[in-house]
Amino acid sequence: MIELNTELVVEDLEEKTRLDVFLSEEVDWSRSQIKLQIDGGRALVNGEKRKAGFLVKNGDVITLSFSKEILEINAEAENIPLDIVYEDDDFAIINKPQGMVVHPAPGAYNHTLVNAILYHFENLSQGSNKIRPGIVHRIDKDTSGLLVVAKNDKAHESLAGQIAEHSCFRHYLALLEGNLKTDEGRIETFIGRNPQDRKMMAVVEDGKKAITNFKVLERFGDYCLVEFILETGRTHQIRVHSKHLGHPIVGDKTYGIKNQKFNLNGQLLHAYKLELTHPTSGKRLIFECDIPEYFTKILNKLKNR
């Protein structure tokens, strides 16, 4: 592991300068590496986490606690079968199975979606760094469903922009414990790290804005099938919002109830529909995929009770 722990005082600046630009001139790390460290909260300005574009000024104190462990992971191509829903020269739509991690990280260096797409596709966008080629957005390991993979940087920029501007619609289906009081609604909160457990996310006052729309599709007495549409894409957003409503997702080992009634490997949450604009043609496209068999079996059990 390569580390850098130091404190820098900003001085001799003629004008305010971006945090990542300032650090690129002060430390021997690449801009992409510096951004990754900043995004990970390892560069504090006057004791506070800031974004890469934050403007620093003379007198600011920057505390660095850089760690290069994650950057030393090299994703290698692996011949892993993929369910490719759509593919052209700009992007591909993948139906990710439950249990597959999207990209390599400490604890999951191999057998990820990135390892698979490196084998199946000749060209991929650079993404945010070398361990995430082609990855425009992510879904959790135990969530199944549709993901878009960019094959070039132009397509990546367009697709990522659509997600940021909320013009790319991501639809999910989830089975919730209990029954929501209303048939449809909008959840708007702030989500951040759980102060009691940093491995979990929670609704907190100082988090990032998270917006989820929902509609109940079917009720089963003590369960309900719900469609969720994301406006933002915070970590574990639908899972956290479901718990916040008092109706966690069935099978969720992190945010769900302790006494699960079904023998499941993860939450019943599936990204079944994706709406986006083609980066080159400008055409509006809609992609859908079926609910996984293990999800369907539970729904059939509830319908036949």
In this structure, how many other beta carbons lie within 10 angstroms of the beta carbon of residue 109? 15
Residue 244: predicted pLDDT: 97
The CATH superfamily assigned to 3-71 is: RNA-binding S4 domain (3.10.290.10)
Bridge partners of 169? 275
In this structure, how many other beta carbons lie within 10 angstroms of the beta carbon of residue 184? 12
Query: Tell me: the pLDDT tens digits for 27-60?
Result: 878 777 898 899 889 999 999 999 999 999 999 9
pLDDT means per 10 residues, the chain with 305 residues, are: 81 88 84 87 93 93 80 74 97 97 75 93 76 87 97 94 92 97 96 86 90 97 96 93 97 94 95 98 98 97 90
Report whether CATH 3.30.2350.10 matches the domain 73-165.
yes
What is the rounded CA–CA span in Å between residue 287 and residue 73?
Answer: 32
Residue 155: predicted pLDDT: 95
Residue 197: predicted pLDDT: 84
| Start-to-end Cα distance in the chain | 55
Residues 6+ apart with CB under 8 A from 225: 173, 174, 175, 176, 216, 217, 218, 219, 299
What is the rounded CA–CA span in Å between residue 63 and residue 4?
Answer: 10
Domains 73-165 and 171-272+294-303 share a fold: yes
Q: Which amino acid is at 114?
A: V
What is the rounded CA–CA span in Å between residue 145 and residue 274?
Answer: 10
Q: Which of 60, 90, 140, 142 is catalytic?
A: 140
Told to judge if 89 belongs to the known catalytic residues of this protein, a careful annotator would answer no
Query: Tell me: the pLDDT tens digits for 174-203?
Result: 999 999 999 999 999 999 888 888 789 999
Residue 47: predicted pLDDT: 93
DSSP state of 103: S
Q: Kindly list the distances between the CA atom of residue 111 and the CA atoms of 108, 180, 272, in Å, as whole numbers in the listed order.
A: 8, 37, 23
What is the rounded CA–CA span in Å between residue 229 and residue 163?
Answer: 12
CB of 236 within 8 A of CB of 210? no
Domain boundaries, the chain: 3-71, 73-165, 171-272+294-303
Residue 31: predicted pLDDT: 78
Residues 6+ apart with CB under 8 A from 180: 214, 216, 224, 226, 245, 247
Report whether CATH 3.30.70.270 matches the domain 171-272+294-303.
no
What is the rounded CA–CA span in Å between residue 273 and residue 93?
Answer: 11
Bridge partners of 219? 224
Residue 249: predicted pLDDT: 98
Quick one: tokens of 78?
A: 């692996």
In this structure, how many other beta carbons lie within 10 angstroms of the beta carbon of residue 209? 11
The string of DSSP codes covering 233-288 is: --TTHHHHHHHHTT-PBTT-TTTS-SS-SS--SS--EEEEEEEEE-TTT--EEEEE
Residue 72: predicted pLDDT: 47
